[in-house]
Amino acid sequence: MREERPTRDQLRVLIPEERLQARIKELGAQIRADYGDRPITCVGVLKGSFMFMADLVRAIGGDIRCEFLAVSSYHGGTRSTGVVRITEDLRTPIEGQDTLVIEDIIDTGLTLDYLLRSLQVRGPASLKTCCLLDKPAHREVALDSDYVGFSIPDEFVVGYGLDLAERYRNLPHIAVYTP
Ligand code: IMP
């Protein structure tokens, strides 16, 4: 039996590579200006933020530590289940450190809300967030990211780290996926 796979026609470029890269440079400069020359512990939320994190930490420059944790909240579908789980935790403490959580996208806000609550109790010197994309239409908790790359309409997007059932993470741009 032939496997049903989405075709290229179901992807429409929403944010081209050049716009992404230009905005990330701006974000990096803004973040570095806000923190001065203080070291920043960047916590990338896997897997979706891996590409954004790689570009953003270079744009911020200066003294940066890179840490990662992994969460699962979607279970392969296109809508949040509201159940968030840390599947891989930080390997080092963030106590006393200026900590910046780097996320790919906020949709309902449930993932980031849960993460911030779990990290705040670990006693960071400060805790801020930087999200590449913000989809404000479906917010279920009152939560705004300190730094946002782009506000986007309520559509399911893939590319530049974001996936649909593990596909499309390697696209260099953000595309809208239409089922
Ligand atoms: P939230 O908990 O609803 O805010 O969703 C946050 C997480 O859901 C993100 O870290 C993504 O992994 C995933 N997500 C939300 N919207 C999209 C999307 O449009 N494309 C791909 N993943 C998404």
For a mutational test of ligand 1's pocket, the pick from 80, 83, 143, 151, i.e. the residue with the most ligand atoms closer than 8 A to its C-beta, is: 80
Q: What is the pLDDT of residues 110-144, one digit of tens each?
A: 999 999 999 999 999 999 999 999 999 989 899 89
Please tell me whether residue 158 adopts helix, strand or coil conformation.
strand
So what's the pLDDT on residue 1?
A: 47
| Average pLDDT of the chain to the nearest whole number | 92
Bond from prior residue into 47 cis (ω within 30 degrees of 0): yes
Across 34-48, average pLDDT: 97
Q: CB of 55 within 8 A of CB of 102?
A: no
105 in ligand 1 pocket by Cβ < 6 Å? yes
Q: 156, 153, 151: which is closest to 168 by C-alpha?
A: 156
Q: What is the pLDDT of residues 9-23, one digit of tens each?
A: 599 999 999 999 999
Across 50-66, average pLDDT: 98
Residue of minimum CA distance from atom 20 in ligand 1:
157
Q: Is 80 exceeded by the pLDDT of residue 33?
A: yes
* Domains along the sequence of the chain with CATH: 8-177 (3.40.50.2020)
